[in-house]
Amino acid sequence: MTDDKLRSWLGAVADDLIPAADGMPAATEVGVTGSQLDLVLAVRPDLARALNRAWALAGEHLPGPALRLLADLDPRAHQAVLEIVAGAYYSSDLVKRLLGYTGQQPIPVRPEDYPAYLAEGLLDRVVDRGPVHRDPDSLSRRQ
Amino acid sequence: MSHRQPRGSPSNVKSARPRRCFARTPDFVRRTRLAPPPEPDAAGEIRQGRGIGYPGAEPPRGTRGKNTASATRGPSRDAEGGAENTGRTVEHADVLVVGAGASGGVVTGALAEAGFDVVCLEQGHWPDRTDFPALRPTYELEARGGWGGNPTLRGRPEDYPVNETDSDIATLMYNGVGGSMVLYAADWPRLLPSDFRTRTLDAVGDDWPLTYHDLQPFYERTDRAFGVSGLAGDTSLPPGGEFPLPPLPIGDGALRLARAHDRLKWHWWPAPNAVLSRPYQGRNACAHYGSCMQGCPEGAKASTDVTHWPNAIKAGARLLTGARVARVLTDNQGLAIGAEYVDPEGKWHIVKADVVIMAANSVGTARILLNSASPRFPNGLANSSGLVGRRLMVHPFANVTGYFDEPVDAGGHVGAKIVSYEFYETDPDRDFVRGAKWSLAPTGGPLNAALPSRAGNSVWGKGHHAHVRTHLGHSLSWCIFGEDLPDEDNRVEIDDSLTDSSGIPAPKVTYRVGENSRRLLDFNIERAERSFAEAGAHRTAVESLMRFSGWHLLGTARMGEDPATSVVDGWGRAHDVPNLYIADGSVFVTSGAVNPTSTIVSLALRSVEHLIENRREQRTPR
């Protein structure tokens, strides 16, 4: 499934999708077809079958035509290739660091003592505009 | 892991409380075995081993949840109440609850606290907080796979498939203790007063057999029980009590939208969330993992596995996990006498009870009732109206994302930061009735910037990195829930051939977005784009109907006063079967346009307290 030829083809496709630019590495530079691919398929084994289909359908083609072919013939396999490449790339610690992304880090919540929206009187004006709900007890059937 | 699930004695240990069951006879306590008792080791396996819902009694990881049932289609279909010739274990309880999710946790807890002997059957297992993907580098990728909401795609052993080939929207749920709350965003709005009177006010749908004011005390009590953070005084609702916790921070991004709505003179309000803004009742406050919809590793997000089940079990409730109910059993008087379930090893069992409460969500409950057809109930249990499974409502969902040049802080919980009800109520100048609720939500991490799961686009090749950088941390989404008017053609049925891994017939969902919903969504999309424009977004992206958005499963066993046009009465009791209750979102008469969990649990609490108060009048099988 993940033999060298498939990895080599996927690497070409991955670098076509995510090339080195703007200070960011190309996909293969962060192991998208190596350890990152193994990681992706370990947590998303459902993608392996579609990757194999993609390889069978388009493995003989260069990246651009291969992706167009997959989009036409097997959209699910096409989507799986995108998900594998992007998933592997953005699971990389290096990539996250370069992006300054710090998501999924525990930061204790601190309720605001006096939120800006109160200080600015924004909610006062909402209240001043009155209820936005209808009271069935005081309304009759819509005319 | 901050929250620890209860540990202690096996779950079949009875409560020390005095029994207050339905029957008045003192010799009521029964632990019936209709069939010859099984071998001791087999009995022990079921009653003290893998089927028991205590974490300490779970099977080792890696084997949990494997379902080895035979591939035959469905359980044996012997006579009504047919435990005969089965050789299966039979438990007895005052009340059997089917499903350990939102409503199942609430009703089981209330009954156990009141001294009832309650058994709950849950097809899934205890969520393992250490297994939630929040802390793994592959979090975003896993959120799209095994931690997604669609049971068919997720395909865990405890899931059942749903045939959705004829549905515009795919159903989403989680099968396990805590139910779909384990994967929900924890938005905690209430229905509005007009939602209970759509027929009277707008000549559509039907009126409920209760009002907002009937439910308001239960809303306030469940706010406290679940630990809701919010700010009282929202003008979308009548005046009421304070929330138990202050609102969560809304962040700079939502403040930007709040200021925009101030200029537009449109409604907005800090959203109520069932996420702790401060430590509460032994639970930690939100730690801003931003992974609410793939399980909260902190236990700060309310779900009944952390808010209700520990106390329910302490009060004596017996929770059997890995117990997949096939059908409700009935006697020759037409009363429910319990249910038949299959365990992960494929062995079949029965729990007998004086009262059965369904809490398996609007797809699961309809499925079980329809699978419970018998000669006395040929169209399914409690279905003389023909409405079991009909009137499915799922809230058609649109998404508008706004992109800003400046960074917008939308960190923390993934549920609504602020809400708007500006376009919720009917306006006769529009070409549709009813309306929508808007929730402002964050847009996720780098994978979602590269490959959006909601509104947005992908750019590959040279422009990829610039695209991701300009979207990541620079966008917000208005999530638009439209009211879904009841339509009998939108339905849950039993599929002709599809089964789950136990061979139990699986549901088929047929659902089409109605013309009123389409107009409603289009109107609100246009207004949401205007909202973003006012807030300074340089562009917007629109997903006009999100297929994988069917979290809100409602209406397949509606409540009402007339048995010809409803399945249950205003207290959740089936018109046809006086000791069968439904506690989940199936009973909704109309959908409103808000996330329904707050209403589901409030209705469940109201119904079960009515059952408890009237237990001496409750008819039970002999």
Among candidate residues B489, B525, B528, B531, the one with its CA nearest the CA of residue B510: B489
Query: Is A116 within the bounds of a domain?
Result: no
Q: Does A95 touch chain B (CB under 8 A)?
A: yes
B309 with B48: CB under 8 angstroms? Answer: no
A13 has a pLDDT exceeding 50: yes
Listed ranges A95-109, A127-141, B81-95, B119-133; the one with the highest mean pLDDT: B119-133
Query: Is A69 within the bounds of a domain?
Result: yes
CA distances for B622 relative to B347, B373, B446, B619, angstroms = 27, 21, 61, 9
Listed ranges A100-114, B10-24, B25-39, B522-536; the one with the highest mean pLDDT: B522-536
Q: Does B193 touch chain A (CB under 8 A)?
A: yes
B11 versus A28: which is more confidently predicted?
A28
Query: Is A138 within the bounds of a domain?
Result: no
pLDDT tier, B148 (very low <50, low <70, confident <90, very high otherwise): confident
pLDDT tier, B106 (very low <50, low <70, confident <90, very high otherwise): very high
Mark yes or no for CB contact A133/B194 under 8 Å: yes
Of A82, A92, A109, the CB nearest to B412: A109
B404 has a pLDDT exceeding 60: yes
Domain of A28 in residue numbering reads as 4-99
* Structure-derived torsion over alpha carbons of residues B451, B293, B455, B431, reported in degrees to the nearest 10: 160
B481, β-bridge pairs: B397, B437
B355, β-bridge pairs: B95
Counted domains in chain A: 1
Query: B 212-271 residues with CB below 8 A of A?
Result: 229, 231, 233, 235-238, 245-250, 255, 258-259, 262, 265, 267-270
CA distances for B569 relative to A92, B201, B562, angstroms = 55, 22, 8
Query: Is A139 within the bounds of a domain?
Result: no
pLDDT tier, B456 (very low <50, low <70, confident <90, very high otherwise): confident
Mean pLDDT of chain B: 87
- pLDDT (0 to 100) of residue B21: 64
- pLDDT (0 to 100) of residue B61: 31
CA distances for B270 relative to A130, B257, B286, B533, angstroms = 16, 11, 16, 20
List, for residues B417-455, the tens digit of each pLDDT value: 999 999 999 999 999 999 999 999 999 999 999 999 888
B287 has a pLDDT exceeding 80: yes
B272 has a pLDDT exceeding 60: yes
Q: How far is B291 from chain A (nearest CA, A)?
A: 7
Question: What pTM value is reported for the model?
Answer: 0.88
User: Span B593-610, mean pLDDT?
Assistant: 98
Mark yes or no for CB contact A39/B138 under 8 Å: yes
User: Span B214-219, mean pLDDT?
Assistant: 98
The DSSP string of B73-130 is SSS---STT--TT----EEEEEEEEE--SHHHHHHHHHHHHTT--EEEEESSB---GG
List, for residues B293-308, the tens digit of each pLDDT value: 999 999 999 999 999 9
ipTM for this model = 0.91
B546 has a pLDDT exceeding 70: yes
Q: Could you identify the residue written with the tokens 């087999």? A: B42
List, for residues B222-231, the tens digit of each pLDDT value: 999 999 999 9
Domains for chain B: give ranges and CATH numbers.
131-171+232-298+392-543 (3.30.560)
Q: What contacts B121, CB < 8 A, 6 or more positions away?
A: B96, B97, B98, B99, B320, B323, B324, B325, B339, B341, B351
Contacts with A47 from chain B: Cβ below 8 Å: 145
Q: How many Å apart are CA B510 and CA B508, to the nearest integer?
A: 7
- pLDDT (0 to 100) of residue A139: 61
- pLDDT (0 to 100) of residue A103: 73
Element (H, E) at B326: strand B324-330
Q: Does A36 touch chain B (CB under 8 A)?
A: no
Query: Is A8 within the bounds of a domain?
Result: yes
Query: A 51-80 residues with CB below 8 A of B?
Result: none
CA distances for A91 relative to A94, B40, B128, B221, B306, angstroms = 9, 50, 23, 42, 30
